[in-house]
A and B are shown apart, each in its own frame.
Chain A
Amino acid sequence: MTETTSAQTTAEKPAGSSEEERPLLQVSDLKKHFPIRGGLLRRQVGTVKAVDGVNLSVKRGETMAIVGESGCGKSTTGRTILRLEEPTGGEVIFDDPDLGPVNVESADRRTMEKIRPKMQIIFQDPFASLDARMTVGRVIAEPLVINKVLQGQALRDRVAELLTLVGLRPEHASRYPHAFSGGQRQRIGIARAIALNPELIICDEPVSALDVSVQAQVINLMEDLQDRLGLTYMFISHDLSVVEHISDRVAVMYVGRVVEIGTTNELFYSPKHPYTEALLQAVPQPDPRQRLEVVPLTGDVPSPANPPSGCYFHTRCPYAQPVCSEETPPLREIKINGVETGHQAACHFAEELSLKGAAVSSEETIPEAASAAGATTA
């Protein structure tokens, strides 16, 4: 089943090298195009290539982050992987613990029913993603009920256990979502996502809507749960400081394509794509003695309905050469002194450019811990 779709992958796939290291998720040439309809007969007049040939793999137990500006297709990628959106092309091989590798995008209904519980999602807006007319207990129990996992007292016990696991109290089950703060609601969303013991959770901007102090609580909770339940996260975010904190590897997307993938350290401190450099430079440093003097990137993200020729980034790239507007650079392995690093970038000049990594704010701006030891709670 996995070989049916011809994968016109431009990138070297590190997948399938050995049985033990088979990735949990292998995304190959994933495409999602939305038609633009217009005119009297609603004929298709154009295509928004929201996701246009994404290749990446996620290893079991790691946190893979997808970053990029709004409209770059990171959320659509996440949704298409779960097949919440029907893909236009490409395949997503999910290594199910029972069924083995399954192509999510072409699986039939019965297979989907079996693998859906293993792939869950946490949404950005904790206010919109919980049904206001269901008690928290019912919200969390719903996946268990639909999949006929538990019922009666066992179900109630499991809901109580899940609530405790995410740092809420079992008696919260009878309340309605409106009685909770943003951070607590996000905990409820997390409890619902882990109810079926999933392998993979796609986290679509899970902390963007939260306050700073609450954001830290939720991030710590997510890391905790990952350790305890052996979860794999795909963490979609535009906040690079959160991404650096939580992820093992990072993929940078620009106008529907992955332009760079690498380990968090590689990508943050020796980026190989000019866009990554610009993104890193633009992060506002919480240090008044390190002010950004030059605007790292001018102009706007090009429209995915009408992307530029060649490398999509050439219109804003400070290092652009004539070749950049003519040839599309493939996502390729970057060799440093002939050694493969697992670091991939889609830039004609990835090896030649010496790009700046993330700026690091002074340690002095981190105040010392308060006297009470209780300040760090898990």
Chain B
Amino acid sequence: MTDGQSDTIVSVRDLEVEFPTTLGVVRALNGVNFDIPRGKVIGIVGESGCGKSVTARAIMQIIERPGHVTGGTIEFHRKRTEGAATDLLSEPEDKDAATRSGGVDIAKLDPNSRAMRSIRGAEIAMIFQEPMTSLNPVYTVGSQIEEAILLHQTDDKEQARTQAIDMLRQVGMPNPERIAKSYPHELSGGMRQRAMIAMALSCHPALLIADEPTTALDVTTEAQILSLMRNLKSEIGMSIMFITHSMGVVAQLCDEVIVMYLGRVVERASVDEIFYNPKHPYTRSLLRSIPRIGAKRQEKLEVIKGSIPDPYVRLPGCTFHPRCPDYMEGICNTIIPAETLLPGPTRHGVRCHLYSENNEGEPDPRATPQGADGLQDGKQPATAATSEA
């Protein structure tokens, strides 16, 4: 699946992140694999604690201590026209971060290295959930945007100022000159998030990571921000990695979807496949448990039994097995399912024993194989057609 290097911007392979704590090691990511195609919006969904934010932070190399990447690679590719990504590696000690295909393995870079600092913000930018806590209250919005521009693009303060105001105009701020002079507390939630987006886009990044950017906003403002991001994506031609727990937002914005559960990608497919042909029991349960407008009222919402397990407990086999409605004794609780690629026009991968022909995955969590062996026709789920609630 590492084909088509030219149109993937970031490919993450077997990424593992651990947080050693006094109560034990929390394995936040247990071998995460996915690609971010260029110019697409990729959605990462999952409940709290599934590792979606940690994945984003690993790509930015801003995981909070004592957490650290313990394995895997994060390969970053620039656009051909911008020169190879390896050009960013200026220091001799960064040379081993260069990959064979001309990309940079972010996981091998030191978080404070010059190369990482030139990627962070300029090549890959990020916006966060709560715009009030990510903006500095004692600086004006304009000066905070200028800071990023001065750091990565120009030394001319006057030019940085005009560029900042341009950026504010581009994100649909009314009266950008005035907004640039205001402090974050003077703006509403939606305006602050626009200011954050302006800041993130000020250096024209190739990839924008958005970590639940609309969760704290009202639906009407959310609709505005989603439409803005859609327009900016086509204008600037960047990729967006959109992290959310809202299935509605995913359906509205994303091209491809990754569903995560407890530090693993359990299903990945195009947005249409995820909503119209979901395969993994977790994805299916998630889709059934959301209240929908127009669904028959008074009908009980379906719930996923239990809750997300304690992060210190390491579950054997498939991590979803204690909550899974299709649990198979002896298989699901012992063997970690490998990713099975389902036949079809679009790529649809699922990590579930219901779909793998041979149930002989790898018992060792560190050696989870990756898709390639699962091209055979997945066993049709006995579940899909049989019973009805």
> Taking beta carbons and an 8 Å cutoff, which residues of A are in contact with B?
69-70, 181-184, 211-217, 219-220, 223, 238-242, 244-245, 264, 268, 278-292, 295-298, 300-301, 358-361, 364-378
Contact = CB atoms under 8 A, between A and B. Distances in A.
Nearest to B287: A367
Contacts of B48: 182, 211
Contact of B223 (A184, A292, A370): A292
B213 to A, nearest CB: 13
Contact of A297 (B220, B307, B326): B220
Interface in B55-89: none
Given A284-B251, A286-B247, A295-B227, A368 B287 contact: no
B219 A286 contact: no
Contacts of A366: 287-288, 292, 295
B388 to A, nearest CB: 6
Contact of A296 (B220, B301, B304): B220
Interface string B206-235: 000000000000111111101100000000
Contacts of A361: 292-294
A292 B252 contact: yes
Contact of A367 (B245, B288, B303, B307): B288
Contacts of A244: 291, 293-294, 297
A67 to B, nearest CB: 10
Interface of B: 47-48, 188-191, 218-224, 226-227, 245-252, 254, 271-272, 274-276, 278, 281, 283-295, 297, 300-305, 307-308, 325-327, 382-389
Nearest to B252: A284
**Interface core residue of B47, B224, B303, B327 (most chain A CB under 10 Å):** B303
A371 B389 contact: no
Contacts of A280: 293
Given A211-B245, A220-B300, A268 B293 contact: yes
B289 A213 contact: yes
A364 B273 CA distance: 11
Contacts of A375: 285, 288, 302, 305, 325, 389
Nearest to A223: B300
A213 B286 contact: yes
Contacts of B226: 284, 292
B308 A376 contact: no
Contact of A70 (B189, B245, B388, B389): B189
Contact of A282 (B222, B271, B294, B389): B222
B335 to A, nearest CB: 19
Nearest to B257: A288
Contacts of A291: 251-252
A370 B189 contact: no
**Residue among A69, A264, A358, A364 with the highest chain B CB neighbour number at 10 A:** A69
A240 B219 contact: yes
Contacts of B218: 69-70, 238, 301
Given A361-B293, A369-B388, A371-B387, 12 more contacts: A239-B291, A282-B219, A282-B223, A283-B248, A288-B254, A289-B275, A290-B251, A292-B227, A295-B223, A371-B382, A375-B305, A377-B305
A292 to B, nearest CB: 6
Contacts of B290: 212, 216, 241, 286
Contacts of A238: 218-219
Nearest to A373: B387
B308 to A, nearest CB: 7
A364 B292 CA distance: 13
A240 B293 contact: yes
A295 B251 contact: no
Nearest to B297: A245
B303 A220 contact: yes
Nearest to B309: A181
B302 A264 contact: no
Contact of A212 (B188, B254, B286, B297): B286
A26 B272 CA distance: 47
A282 B293 CA distance: 12
Given A297-B220, A298-B224, A371 B326 contact: yes
Contacts of B278: 367
A287 to B, nearest CB: 5
A279 B220 contact: yes
B292 A241 contact: yes
B293 A213 contact: no
B303 A213 contact: yes
9 contacts: A244-B291, A284-B219, A286-B287, A296-B220, A360-B294, A366-B292, A367-B288, A370-B284, A375-B285
Give the 5 A-B CB pairs with smallest separation, nearest first.
A360-B294, A284-B248, A370-B325, A371-B383, A213-B304
Given A241-B293, A370-B284, A288 B302 contact: no
Contacts of A359: 293-294
A378 B303 CA distance: 9
Given A212-B245, A376-B302, A365 B276 contact: yes
Contact of A286 (B224, B275, B387): B275
A371 B287 CA distance: 16
Contact of B190 (A300, A360, A367): A300
A182 B47 CA distance: 12
Nearest to A283: B219
Contacts of A182: 48
